[in-house]
Structure 1
Amino acid sequence: MEDRALACALAPGLLYAAVFDGHVGDAAAEYCAQELHRTVRSRLGGTNDDALEAALEGAFESTNAAFLAATAPDEVAGTTACVLLRVSHADTLSVHAANAGDSRAVLCLAHAGGAVSGTHAVEQLTRDHKPDDPDETTRIEAAGGSIWDMEDGCGGRVARSLGDRMFKSTEPPLVPCAPTTTSRAISAAERQGAFALLASDGVWEVFSNERACMLVIGALAEGRSAHDAAEALCEAALAKGSDDNVAAVVVMLS
């Protein structure tokens, strides 16, 4: 099991949640699970959109550099990173996401006539970074890399990650750690029963965004906690036939 997942408070009104999908060992995922939230906290200069985006981007860069510096030259482990900050102040609520790789965060919001049911709608909050995404393919080829068919035993599964020393040696790196970031204000009308779901690609390979949220909604409707709902989703992904590691975090927005 090379995935890691956690949630913790960084400050009053500021919750951090993250999923890390490790590969070639769990060293990078474990390091990020221990250190990335500390680095985000140390870089916080405010809770407005620009300050949070800067803190997230800087934390990804410095944590990646620290991992490479702290490990042996033959350590080639890497990890995706999908991070969510939930910020609540007085009557306002917002979420801020940073993602590198193909883990994903989605929102399930209260909304009449939504895609999931009559009371919820699903929005994908982050963008998956895969080598065959046109933008990522263009970037990789511009940096001197090539894309191969993975079924032929070549190529990689993620286009951005932390760690992966062998892909960080060029400038620009073929597989950078720079995340894409997103911010979203959550209105009072959207909050009832709403949640954010972060999960590694072991979940998204077998479930659509809508189906994954339906499974979480079902678990919450049975009176389960957010933790138990995340666990139920992972168990359902394995029962569905996912052949990858799976990890998930459910963050309530009510």
Structure 2
Amino acid sequence: MSDPNAKVVEVTQAEGSDTYGSVNQHPKVESPQTAFKVGVSVDRNKKCRRTMEDAHSFIYDFGGIRGQGYFAVFDGHAGKHAAEWCGHHFHEHLLDNLRKAPVTPIPDLLNATFHTVDTKLSELAASGNTHSGCTAVTCFLRLEDDQGRPAGDASGVCSDVVAVKEGQQVVADEGSALRAAQAGGSAPGGSGNDAAVQGLPELARDGEGAAEGGEAADKAAGHSRRRSAHEVKSRIKNLLTGRSDEFTASSTSSSTSSLASGSSAAARGNTVATPTVEIAGPAVTKSAAKRTLYTANVGDARAVLSRGGRAVRLTYDHKGSDAKEAKRISDAGGFVLNNRVNGVLAVTRSLGDSSMKEFVVGSPFTTETTLGPQDEWLIVACDGLWDVCSDQEAVDLIKDVECPQEASQKLLDHALSSFSTDNLSILCVRLNNGANP
């Protein structure tokens, strides 16, 4: 009989300052460019839960560039399979898309990645006769110049370090096509207004193109860079069908066709191949003017930023109790009973849940935030914490803590003492570790 508990990559420590893109590995020696540090605490909560269905992952120097990071929590339900798979493979699909579409805005790439992963999980469910799902929150910390262009040569990936393979075929292993594509297009521009002015995400939008509710989303809606619902919806549709206006030149087909074929496969329901990521060497140092944090989520797992001691929520809770989500489900032919989709599922968006995919979609809510000196902590956690702890309370609990591992454990202990009844997975990322661009 297989283990019902989700297996995650064991947290380890590298032999030196390089982790070589390894999942859940800390550098033993911090380099001068190590601008953040991660702490992780998990607990099955055995008094209330028979199994552990959460998974998590973090990567230092993500994309082969020192100072970049990837942080994610996947909260499973109806089984471990969806969360476990995402903990091992979500970042591979993200890196694949970053390599293939170097001039596409990161929120759009995150959206495309969520849809691709969602389709992959449906395929796995069909082949394995499982129908599990998971909520998800993913964060990509990218180094950029003052115009918002990536420090790397492909949406924040160093092609000399990171090679992405599909089967036996290396995708742009030399990076020449990617650099040509980037030279022929325009990278996302910088913000006209710094997020620090409002203390809120610079750009927040829903994966289906419509603005979400909530304080952060409402205030972000007035930002000068916010796109119209029609524009975002069209961009996502084009990404998933391979018709992006940014990819019209045939000379960029090497990077374009790969993303188009993978995303189109997701849109058509064809088989989605999981790429293999190979790291050719240690991470490289790139000059950068700022750090930008990109987040995407489905369901009720959250990412919360501590900015000058004030909690700023970077995600949106997709629940049956939300009026907009309930209307969306009703318009699709479903219903919400007792705040549950068709009387069953409490969250209205997730990855997996193939039997309810018509209503429980995988379109994420995304935010884009420029980080500054006031940004001390990023808390990424499942609802096992947030059900018993407010955003501000979590920030207050760790505001005087220096060690991220101590911070994550403090939040976990608080959740257990506050009678949380769910699995617990908590990542605390200390953002001002002393090496900001």
Whether these two folds match at TM > 0.5 is yes
> What TM-score do you get using the length of structure 2 for normalisation?
0.51
Question: For 1:244, which of 404, 422, 432 is the aligned residue?
Answer: 422
Matched pairs, number: 232
- Counterpart of 2:57? 6
Question: For 2:82, which of 5, 10, 28 is the aligned residue?
Answer: 28
- Counterpart of 1:211? 393
User: Residue 349 of structure 2 aligns to which amino acid in structure 1?
Assistant: R
| Distance in 2, Cα, partners of 1:38 & 1:214 | 34
- C-alpha deviation, 1:231, in angstroms: 2.5
User: Residue 94 of structure 1 aligns to which amino acid in structure 2?
Assistant: T
Cα contact 1:149–1:155 (8 A) shared by 2:
no
Cα contact 1:100–1:161 (8 A) shared by 2:
yes
| Unaligned runs of at least 5 residues, structure 2 | 1-51, 145-287, 433-437
Cα contact 2:305–2:312 (8 A) shared by 1:
yes
- Compared CA separation, residues 92 and 47, structure 1 to 2 (3 A): farther
- C-alpha deviation, 1:14, in angstroms: 2.4
Question: For 2:331, which of 142, 149, 154 is the aligned residue?
Answer: 142
Q: For residues 112-151 of structure 1, what are the structure 2 equivalents within 5 Å?
A: 120-149=309-338
Q: Does 1:77 align with 2:141?
A: no
Q: Percent identity?
A: 31
User: Residue 317 of structure 2 aligns to which amino acid in structure 1?
Assistant: D
Bigger Cα displacement from structure 2, 233-242 vs 136-145? 233-242
- C-alpha deviation, 1:121, in angstroms: 1.4
| Distance in 1, Cα, partners of 2:370 & 2:73 | 22
User: Residue 200 of structure 1 aligns to which amino acid in structure 2?
Assistant: C
Question: For 1:187, which of 355, 372, 376 is the aligned residue?
Answer: 372
- Counterpart of 2:300? 102
> What TM-score do you get using the length of structure 1 for normalisation?
0.85
- C-alpha deviation, 1:248, in angstroms: 1.1
| Distance in 2, Cα, partners of 1:180 & 1:33 | 19
RMSD: 2.0
- C-alpha deviation, 1:227, in angstroms: 2.9
Residue 251 of structure 1 aligns to a residue in which SS?
strand
- Compared CA separation, residues 104 and 136, structure 1 to 2 (3 A): same
| Distance in 2, Cα, partners of 1:73 & 1:131 | 28
| Distance in 2, Cα, partners of 1:39 & 1:228 | 31
- C-alpha deviation, 1:128, in angstroms: 0.5
- C-alpha deviation, 1:154, in angstroms: 3.0
| Distance in 1, Cα, partners of 2:69 & 2:417 | 31
- C-alpha deviation, 1:54, in angstroms: 2.0
| Distance in 2, Cα, partners of 1:144 & 1:135 | 15
- C-alpha deviation, 1:47, in angstroms: 7.8
Question: For 1:202, which of 363, 381, 384 is the aligned residue?
Answer: 384
| Distance in 2, Cα, partners of 1:21 & 1:98 | 14
- C-alpha deviation, 1:228, in angstroms: 3.2
Q: Does 1:87 align with 2:142?
A: yes
- C-alpha deviation, 1:87, in angstroms: 1.6
- Compared CA separation, residues 107 and 84, structure 1 to 2 (3 A): same
Cα contact 1:47–1:87 (8 A) shared by 2:
no
Residue 5 of structure 1 aligns to a residue in which SS?
strand
- Counterpart of 1:230? 408
| Distance in 2, Cα, partners of 1:43 & 1:185 | 22
Higher relative contact order (CA 8 A, sep 6+): 2
Cα contact 2:136–2:298 (8 A) shared by 1:
yes
| Unaligned runs of at least 5 residues, structure 1 | 111-119
- C-alpha deviation, 1:212, in angstroms: 0.9
- Counterpart of 1:174? 359
**In the TM superposition, what whole-angstrom CA distance separates every residue of 1:167-192 from its partner, at most 9, and x where no partner exists?**
02xxxx2000110111011234x24x
| Distance in 1, Cα, partners of 2:80 & 2:412 | 19
Greater strand percent: which structure?
A: 1
